[in-house]
Structure 1
Amino acid sequence: MVHTCVVAGCRNRRTPGTTLSFYRFPRDSERKQRWIAAVNREGWVPNDGSRLCSTHFISGKQVKNPRSPDYVPSVFTTAPLSPEMKEPGALEILDKQEARVEAANALLFLQGQGRSAADDPRQEERPGEREREDLVEDSASSSLSTDEDDDDKEPLNNCKRGKFAQASDVPVNFDDTLKALKKENQFLKESVEKMSLSENSLRNDAEKVKFYTGLPNYFVLETVMWLLAPHMDGMKNVKLSKFQQLLLTLMRLRLDLRNQDLAYRFGAKVGTVTRTVHRMVNIMSSTLVPTAVFWPSRAELRKNLPASLRASHPDCAVIIDCFTVPFEEEQPQGGLSGPHGVGSSCNTLKYLIGVAPQGVVTFVSRGVMGNVSDKSLAEGCGFLCKLLPGDVVLATRNLDIGESVAARGALFKIAGACQEEGCGRSEGSPPPDTASETTSVQRHVERVISMVKRRYAMLTGPVESPFTSASERTSTLSTFDKIVQVACALNNLCISAAPLE
């Protein structure tokens, strides 16, 4: 059967081999009026043979969901109506196949009436009537099977059950359904937000901030972001935001996650993660470290001197110690080496750290590979240049730098050994409690060093080889040296820096 689209200017016809679908106008009066209004043919009223082709729907087919844009046809061209075009219904009514369809519909209607009458107990079903009814239904079904209109199929199925379209359907409350879907959508959004690594998910969760960054709360994290943001403008990375780049780097230092792991978490490539970490470490080293790791003035040191040291060491300027970090493998030729030509006979990096009496890291040396002595490290890292005449340098063990410190007019003291000859204790000063002082100072230094390592697991090693090479041609510091300094700077931003008790 040939169907022609009723839209003005549309010449689509149902022909053999066509992929178009042709839909009859809805039986629902309200929806039918909306279709008529969409067709926009003045004074025109559709009949049973009127059809609308699928090209006038956005998705290429009609949708019975009232919330769908294809509930009503909306795709129309502005082509004028051809004067030769006749009413499509006039030709279709004369079509013999259409006549058969209409006859089948009439038979189905009579069939439904007959069943209603058969339900009356006063009437008896005649022999063979059931078989004839089935035959009529099958015949009507085969006549209508060529029509692609979904509206034709639905009443046909209902007629097979002896019912008419939607007569017994349970009404649906779309308002309640919409409210339930909105509530579910909001719940899913909140769940995804909590699981994501974004600013909103960290803003009101101090424990999450502390776990992923080592910083005490979101305010400190936001302050660090504010300090670094102006220096990140030149970083060409459209995949990750500035906040994500900072968070990714802090997670690398804090949890020592592999680059592949971070790439999965942030939906980026491994190369992007590697470049981001190196860039951010360089930015934090040049911006954050000078702000947070610095040598305080003598007046500031004495003002914040813990009470336990005021009597025994009122001029204490710093407490020093050394710590080592292992690295993964032997360095290639031209890698990092000791300041005095010391080779990498031992696969460790050695650092000297200086801690103010109140527990703030004030000095970190660059890493030296190999079996270098504490004295060589202290004399070659620039630590002695920070001392002023009269300063007292404390240590929990002998670092063999007493003469070098004395050359600066300062005093080197080993806690608990001040009563020994040559300890440098001034005459008339009260002798300290040797055992308690040694334990107190030693715990203090060890606590600060272990706190930095616990807070940033990357410092526990082993160090990956790409981090042990010089990060820039103009810099003598390796990337890992900068990481150690950045970790100490971030540690100083925390509320508790293990004050000396």
Structure 2
Amino acid sequence: MDGCGVTVDDGDPPVVFFLDILRSATILGVKTRKKRPPTPLRGLNMVHTCVVAGCRNRRTPGTTLSFYRFPRDPERKQRWVAAVNREGWVPNDGSRLCSTHFISGKQVKNPRSPDYVPSVFTAAPLSPEMKEPAAPELADKQEAHVEAANALLFLQGQGRPAPHRPPQGQRPPEAEDSGSSSLSDEEDDDQDEDEKESLNDSKRGRLDVCLDSADALRALKKENQFLRESVEKMSLSESSFRNDAEKVKFYTGLPNYFVLETVMWLLAPHMDGVKNARLSKFQQLLLTLMRLRLDLRNQDLAYRFGVKVATVTRTVHRMVHIMSAALVPTAVFWPSRAELRKNLPAALRGAHPDCAVILDCFTVAFEEAGQQQGRAPSPPSSSPPAPGPGVLKYLIGLAPQGVVTFVSRGVTGGVSNQSLAEGCGVLCKLLPGDVALAARDLDIAEAVAARGARFKIAGACPEEAGGQSEGAPTATPDTASVQRHVERVVSMVKRRYAMLTGPVESPFGSAPERASSLSTFDKIVQVACALNNLCISAAPLE
């Protein structure tokens, strides 16, 4: 083998011949091809070394560096050669460029990427795994060479023909095989790089998906918060009323949440013994106030609060009894004469400075049988229902400034106004010299006079000041103003709490309880008057 610098004589021993072949393959950088050796051949794979001047990185087992062969595209290949900048040097199939000469640590096949062409050519530091082989490593390689020679001897001993000497200038078959193996390795390298790039693209895709998912999650959280706030605002919870005075006024008749909270604070101790798993204390109070304020049916309230109709009925009855015992004595009371004169409205100050009370009667009809389901509330009417057995009559007393100071219990419509006024106890509260006004004739002038007080009809002429009401009174501007004020304060309570306009449902118009002379509806009227007194006056006093 003259081209390899090896001479083979026919008399040379086989061991010498195969050692010469092994040395020649090592010098030419060619791997010997092994076929089914008895022992594995280590250290015979081609080692790729970076072609950049000054770069000593090599491809060894376990390295994290990548080695790229020069592109097949002529234009890109020329740019790589120019970047390597080795004068008169031309790359061959075995030339490799390590990944340290790319900005991102790998080549990119996108022409727009800065790593389309290598650009990092500073003195590349040696990676920990790319150090010069030490003495023990050289000894291992020599030992590997000896093992390879023994393997070849073993194969010849099995009857394999000795390799022929190739013609001059021609590479040995082993070298050709090694070359094809090297090309196969190069193709594997390219395939590995493509797989790595595909893997990186997949990672970037997953990252984009994660970012999109994070944006979607934030959007969903924002939408969820908005929906929660919307549902909370539309709900009948305590927090939804806290900062919404108009909502409080619409559903309860009270002017703001502070007054509603005060009522809740006053009633809460009396509700401790009541166990209701579905409704809180606030919801029980709110349900009752909505029943009085809007005159909603029990079935409607059951839907709104998510409970049964029987629960609504029990709650309203229980809360009415509690408010009658705890709220009415606190809010409905007869003021002193000094307090009355101090707060006397201007409309009455000149004509009736001694006015102590404004009296009037109103009636509420019972609900007829068969009307309880699905009836529409009857609109307020200036003319009361005709007296009869199906009507409840009440006498109400108001201070001149519009505060309810007295409410009688209900009697059937057949009872006269005089009998109601004389039997309800309102006359016992009059002092000598007081004036009792009325919007119409109540036929109680004599009973009032018996208490040392005077009874007058608002709008009557001065000559009729004694209370006689025969004929229609001739109204003057001053008396007309008084009459309008009286009518306004009388209708104020019924306008604020629609349940008082009737008709009364049969469960509320039941017979009085044993421990009380008042029916449930009597207590409802008193509670409505007490709640009215907690409001800022809806009827202007000036």
> Which TM-score band applies after superposition, normalised by the shorter structure?
0.5 to 0.7
The range that moved more, 441-450 or 191-200, is: 441-450
- Counterpart CA distance in 1 for 2:319 and 2:408 is 20
Matches within 5 A, 1:92-111: none
Provide closer, same or farther for how the CA distance between residues 167 and 364 of structure 1 changes in structure 2, counting only shifts above 3 A. closer
- Aligned-partner Cα distance in 2 for 1:491–1:396: 20
Q: Does the alignment pair 1:476 with 2:514?
A: no
- Give the residue type in structure 1 aligned to 2:397: G
The 8 Å contact of residues 396 and 441 in structure 1, kept in 2 or not, is answered as: no
Q: Please tell me whether the aligned partners of residues 414 and 423 of structure 1 are also in contact (alpha carbons under 8 angstroms).
A: no
Deviations 1:71-106 (A, max 9, x none): xxxxxxxxxxxxxxxxxxxxxxxxxxxxxxxxxxxx
Separation (CA, whole Å) in 2 of partners of 1:235 and 1:309: 47
TM superposition shift of 1:270: 1.1
Give the secondary structure class of the aligned counterpart of 1:245: helix
Alpha-carbon distance between aligned partners in 1 of 2:482 and 2:393, rounded to the nearest angstrom: 21
Task: Give the letter aligned to residue 171 of structure 1.
Answer: V
CA drift of 1:455 comes to 1.3
- Residue 211 of structure 1: aligned partner: 250
Asked whether the 8 Å contact 1:415–1:434 carries over to 2, the reply is no
The aligned amino acid for 1:280 is: M
The alpha-carbon deviation at position 371 of structure 1 amounts to 2.1
Closer, same or farther in 2 for the Cα pair 1:441/1:352, shift >3 Å? farther
1:463 aligns with 2:504: yes
Distance, in Å, in 1 between the alignment partners of 2:519 and 2:331 is: 20
Per the TM alignment, residue 265 of structure 1 is displaced from its structure 2 partner at its CA by 0.7
1:241-297 superposed Cα distances (whole Å, 9 cap, x missing partner):
000000000000011111111111111111111111001101111111111111100
Question: What residue in structure 2 maps to residue 500 of structure 1?
Answer: 541
Q: Offset at 1:221?
A: 0.5
CA distance in 1, matches of 2:535, 2:511: 29
The aligned runs of 1:77-476 (5 Å cut-off) are 171-173=209-211, 174-329=213-368, 345-420=388-463, 423=466, 434-470=475-511, 472-476=513-517
Opposite residue 401 of structure 1, the aligned amino acid is I
State whether residues 328 and 465 of structure 1, in contact with CA within 8 Å, keep that contact through their aligned partners in structure 2: yes
In structure 2, what residue type is equivalent to 1:193?
A: E
State the alpha-carbon separation in 2 of the partners of residues 316 and 451 from structure 1: 19
AA aligned to 1:461 is G
Under a length normalisation based on structure 2, what TM-score does the superposition of the two structures give?
0.56
Cα distance per residue 1:441-492 (max 9 Å; x no partner): 3322322232212211111111001111145321111111111111111111
Change (3 A) 1:441 1:365: farther
Question: SS in structure 2 opposite 1:192?
Answer: helix
Structure-to-structure mapping, 1:479-490, within 5 angstroms: 479-490=520-531
CA distance in 1, matches of 2:364, 2:290: 19
Q: In 2, are the aligned partners of 1:440 and 1:500 still within 8 Å (CA)?
A: no
User: 8 Å contact 1:355–1:445 — kept in the other structure?
Assistant: no
- Identify if the C-alpha distance between structure 1 residues 416 and 182 changes in structure 2 by more than 3 Å, giving closer, same or farther: closer
The gaps in structure 1 that reach 5 residues or longer are 1-112, 118-163, 331-343, 426-431
Query: Deviations 1:364-423 (Å, cap 9, x if unpaired)?
Result: 111111222111111111111111111111112221111111111111112333533671
CA distance change for structure 1 residues 388 and 181 in 2, over 3 Å: closer, same or farther? same
Kindly tell me: are residues 469 and 438 of structure 1, through their superposed partners in 2, closer, same or farther at Cα, counting changes over 3 Å?
farther
Larger Rg: 2
- 1:174-231: CA deviation from partner (whole Å, max 9, x where unpaired): 4323322221221121111011101111111111111111111111111111111111
Distance 1:367-1:424 versus aligned 2 partners, 3 A rule? closer
User: Normalized against structure 1, the TM-score is what?
Assistant: 0.61
Aligned-pair Cα RMSD in Å: 2.9
Cα distance in 2 for residues equivalent to 1:240 and 1:287: 21
Counterpart Cα distance in 2 of 1:228 and 1:197? 19
Task: Give 2:100's aligned residue.
Answer: none
List per-residue Cα deviations over 1:54-74 (Å, max 9, x = no partner): xxxxxxxxxxxxxxxxxxxxx
CA distance in 2 between counterparts of 1:229 and 1:471 reads 25
**CA distance in 1: counterparts of 2:393 and 2:433, whole angstroms:** 28
The amino acid across from 1:253 in the alignment is L
For residues 400 and 294 of structure 1, the distance between their equivalents in structure 2, rounded to whole angstroms, comes to 25
In the other structure, the counterpart of 2:88 is: none
Distance of 1:433 and 1:299 partners within structure 2: 32
Secondary structure of the residue that 1:319 maps to in structure 2?
Answer: strand
AA partner of residue 481 (structure 1): D
Give the drift of 1:363.
1.0
Q: How far apart, in 2, do the equivalents of 1:251 and 1:471 lie?
A: 24
Q: Which moved more, 1:221-230 or 1:371-380?
A: 371-380
In structure 2, distance between residues paired with 1:461 and 1:492: 21
Distance in 2 between residues matched to 1:172 and 1:424, nearest whole Å? 89
Would the alpha carbon gap of residues 494 and 165 (structure 1) be closer, same or farther in structure 2, given more than 3 Å must change? same
What's the CA shift for 1:172? 2.4
> What is the count of residue pairs matched by the alignment?
328
The answer to whether the 8 A contact 2:489-2:539 is kept is yes
> 1:175 is aligned with what amino acid?
A
The answer to whether the 8 A contact 2:252-2:289 is kept is yes
Question: 2: distance between equivalents of 1:296 and 1:421?
Answer: 28
- Residues 167 and 443 (structure 1), Cα distance of their counterparts in 2 relative to 1, 3 Å cut: closer
Residues 246 and 280 of structure 1 are in contact (CA less than 8 Å); yes or no, is this contact kept in structure 2?
A: yes
Whole-angstrom distance in 2 between the partners of 1:167 and 1:220: 61
Describe the SS at the equivalent of 1:420. Answer: helix
